[in-house]
Amino acid sequence: MTLLNRTPKRICDLAFGAGFLLMLAFMLWKAPFGFHFSDEAYYLTVPYRMAQGDVLFRDMWDIRQFSMLPTLPIMSVYLKIFGTTGSMVLNFRYIYIIFHSAFSLWLYLILRRSYPLGAVFAAAVYMLFSPINIMQLSYNTYGIGFITVSCALLTENRKKILAGILYALAVLSCPFAAVLFIVFSIAAAIKRTQWFSFALGVAVTATLFLVYVQATAGIGEMIKTLPEFFHDPTHPVNGILIRLSDMLTELVTSRKPVTAVLIVQLFTMSAYLKSDNKSIRWLLYIFASAAAVFGMLYEMKTDRWINCLMVPVTYLGLTAYVLSENKNRALMRFMYIPGWIYAVCVYISSDLGYMTMSGALTVSACASCYFIASAAGEIFCEGGTKRIGAGALAVALVCQLGAQVWYRKNFCFSELYNTSMMYETVDKGSGKGEKTSTEAINYEFMQVWDSSERVREHDGEYVLYFSKDCWLYLEDEKRCAAQSVWIQMAYTVEEAERLVDFWQKHPEKYPDAIFVSAETENVEKVIEILNTGHFPVEKNDRGYVMVNR
């Protein structure tokens, strides 16, 4: 008898329902904390530009621009209802919570059909995860969410058209993930399942995307603009083999304790496979679980990004799968392995390396927690002292969820401050209602706001904020004059030269007012490059303002 037979779905449903409500309340409480300095503002600025009339490929050279398409209809409806950007960021955090919670519930309802207790932990791990500590709709949120639910649907061999649509939407967030279609096709051939409906879902989504592009910018404009994506100095393009080599080097050299966890897991699996006494499993579970918990604690000590927690549990999940008697091969074939491949694809496409790769492993982490719960159920039913092994696995699962709660509570939206320091409330602009520290609200918000006020007061249509503070574009209805709102301070001269090239191709976009941050490297050279209209330069506390009088 397995724990599946002894744990009615009703009990698991009640457990998940109670946990779901607690996690939802936790996220709603957390939502106001943290100011949207950089990445979070970028996630909203791109769809805001599109809602204002900017067109994909034609008006923007952002390498991630098509990943924002799912947010565009939400942004358009939001602006029609509210008619202002005031409090926009906080409101979109609540929209994110709706999206994320719905996908968590969906994941549970899919996986509960085969093993409800495993589904409880898989869905909880997904719900408690927030990419890069940011509770916002983004290419990270969409990519992980769409892939996770798409894979879950495939494991149940249900609603394959919907699985294909979700997968295609995930590819918008990470084009390299297109390779997963080949992986899914091979897995389906091995399982001998009908595959046409999944491919149809992919084809329908891809066709709708191309129709949208043709109706707006045009396919020709898309082809002409694509090379600009690879000239972005903030996302330098290296060969795939070089990126793979970088990934392996980073995994082994910069994460030695976590690599040690992997070695322990491999040793544990090897010991089990070579042993004639299969009852040794429960000892190996204790050993493997202890190593995984050590890995979690190490990551918590050295890294403030929640992404890093997804790796150790993924290693333990593989061990639990190998040592289990009742293996869910569909989950391994359609979720665990594709999750790792997706993580590699994200690493290749990102400039953040291990952090984004480990976050993408959430797909595999959900499957891993299912495997761990299943293994714990098996060994628990064996009875006797062997239940200590089941207890070790349970401890690992509790530590995983507890560590994620700790990260979500203490680290907010990429800020260095924790919630105990965030008692000041933003009282205006797109960030109205957010809570942050006194230092942040004075230096990072108010000083930048006041120094850029001259640009907002100007009656021109197009403006440029040459600053890492891309949230400035959300503060009024003026149009963005740049090919991208993302400015990285390490490439300021290259960014300025690229802007001038953009204006030569789109002279109608030349700004009527410009703000250049005082933090800009080579600021004099940058001003010289950008000020092709020979505007008078006004210096203030946090930057330089150039306005067409």
Helix (H) or strand (E) holding 121: helix 116-127
For residues 452 and 467, what is the distance between their CA atoms, to the nearest angstrom? 11
pLDDT for res 140 = 92
Average pLDDT for 436-440: 90
**What is the share, in percent, of the chain residues with pLDDT greater than 90?**
59
Hey, what amino acid is at 1? Answer: M
Residue 463, helix vs strand vs coil: strand
Higher pLDDT, 301 or 544: 544
Average pLDDT, rounded, for the chain: 89
Average pLDDT for 265-272: 92
Do residues 72 and 51 lie in contact, with contact meaning Cβ atoms separated by under 8 Å?
yes
pLDDT for res 362 = 96
| CA nearest neighbour of 60 among 399, 393, 544, 505 | 505
pLDDT for res 449 = 94
pLDDT digits (tens, 9 = 90+) for 346-358: 988 887 788 889 9
For residues 130 and 135, what is the distance between their CA atoms, to the nearest angstrom? 6
Average pLDDT for 270-290: 86
State the DSSP code for 167. Answer: H
pLDDT for res 491 = 78
Hey, what amino acid is at 47? Answer: P
pLDDT for res 4 = 47
Quickly tell me which residue has 């333990």 as its tokens.
Answer: 316
pLDDT digits (tens, 9 = 90+) for 123-182: 999 999 999 899 999 999 999 999 999 999 998 877 889 999 999 999 999 888 998 888
For residues 166 and 228, what is the distance between their CA atoms, to the nearest angstrom? 28
Q: CB-based burial of residue 83 (10 Å sphere; 0-12 exposed, 13-18 middle, 19+ buried)? A: exposed
Residue 537, helix vs strand vs coil: strand
pLDDT for res 380 = 87
Residue 1 pLDDT class (50, 70, 90 cuts): very low
Please give the model's pTM, rounded to 2 decimal places: 0.92
pLDDT digits (tens, 9 = 90+) for 187-236: 777 766 668 888 899 999 999 999 999 998 888 888 888 887 777 766 66
For residues 134 and 305, what is the distance between their CA atoms, to the nearest angstrom? 10
Residue 191, helix vs strand vs coil: helix
CA 518 vs CA 7, 453, 527, 531: distances in Å: 62, 15, 11, 16
For residues 277 and 524, what is the distance between their CA atoms, to the nearest angstrom? 73
For residues 403 and 409, what is the distance between their CA atoms, to the nearest angstrom? 10
For residues 446 and 424, what is the distance between their CA atoms, to the nearest angstrom? 12
For residues 43 and 292, what is the distance between their CA atoms, to the nearest angstrom? 33
